[in-house]
Amino acid sequence: MYQAVRARLRALVCGKRAARRDAGMVTSEYAVGIVAAVAFAVVLYKVITSGAVGAELQGIVEEALNARM
């Protein structure tokens, strides 16, 4: 049992299997980043399309269009 554990640790630390495991972590990091970006976009969309924020944005745009230079 001890020899099997030792051989497995040696393979993970020194072998090619450790490099393959690291390569997969990059893909999962991209996936988490994409999910977080989509969640942020959904929350931002909900805030922007709400009634109060929409009315404020419309007021700002109308004020800017009516401004005289």
- pLDDT at position 3 is 80
**pLDDT on residue 5:** 78
pLDDT for res 36: 94
At 7-66, the pLDDT tens digits run 777 777 776 554 555 556 678 888 898 999 999 999 999 988 888 888 898 899 999 998
User: What's residue 27's pLDDT?
Assistant: 80
3-state SS assignment for residue 59: helix
Q: Where are the domains of the chain?
A: 2-66
What DSSP string runs through 22-45?
A: HHHHHHHHHHHHHHHHHHHHHHHH
Say what the pTM is: 0.48
